[in-house]
Amino acid sequence: FWDVLFVARAVAFQGIPEFFLAIRRLFDMGRRLRVLFICPVPPTAGTGALTDVRQQYEKLFSDEEQKYFTLLTTNVRYPFPFDLPTIAHFYRSSKIFVHSAPDERRCRVAAYAWASGLPVVGMAPVGSVLSPMTRREPFFYEIEEYTDFPRQILRALDAAGQTQDFLPVQSEISAHLSVKLLEKHLARLFSEKQWQLPVV
């Protein structure tokens, strides 16, 4: 249902204003993408909390544009308002995932996207959870500057419209596949080092 999904807490280091501006530029280009931004809001206005996320959104997007771009702010069960089956529904109902944080490493929400078979658009640190073999298109669309965000979003959407084999990246991310990968790696390591398996 959605072209673009973004999941991020309302905190300064997530690059939320930059994400808003990227979507603004796409809308100005005449690309009325369906966008869903799930944004858990901290219960208190502590250090780094963005208390004006909705105001920024409403300032940048008209009522008509908000029919295409949904900002879903939540203030319950912060920072994880949804259980995994519920959040999985949003991923399965989207074409690509974007993440605008400039320095997010071991990114859980991006890993959910790869496990769901979605291309991810983001800065290099977002892709750090992937191996060099999979940290590339059509799995990861890296942006170096925020001005490149709209172009990479459109390229990822084009790729999402084609059949892609996400098994290489899913085998690194999905729990049921990565456990098997770890078992094979440990077995190979023990064999190479001629280590004995502990007796249980």
Chain segment 15-48, per-residue pLDDT in tens: 999 999 999 999 999 999 999 999 999 988 777 8
Q: What count of other Cβ atoms lies within 10 Å of the Cβ of residue 104?
A: 22
Taking alpha carbons only, the member of 57, 103, 85, 73 closest to residue 8 is 73
The pLDDT, as a whole number, for residue 59 is 97
Cα 40 versus chain centre, distance: 15
119 forms beta bridges with: none
Mean pLDDT in residue range 83-106: 95
The pLDDT, as a whole number, for residue 200 is 66
Asked if pLDDT for residue 135 goes beyond 70, the answer is yes
Asked if pLDDT for residue 112 goes beyond 70, the answer is yes
Q: What is the mean pLDDT of the chain?
A: 92
pTM, 2 dp: 0.87
Asked if pLDDT for residue 140 goes beyond 90, the answer is yes
Q: How confident is the model at residue 163 (pLDDT cuts 50, 70, 90)?
A: confident
Taking alpha carbons only, the member of 9, 192, 199, 194 closest to residue 100 is 9
In whole angstroms, give the CA distance from residue 46 to residue 65: 31
> With pLDDT > 70 as the criterion, what percentage of the chain qualifies?
98
Tokens in use for 182?
């770890």
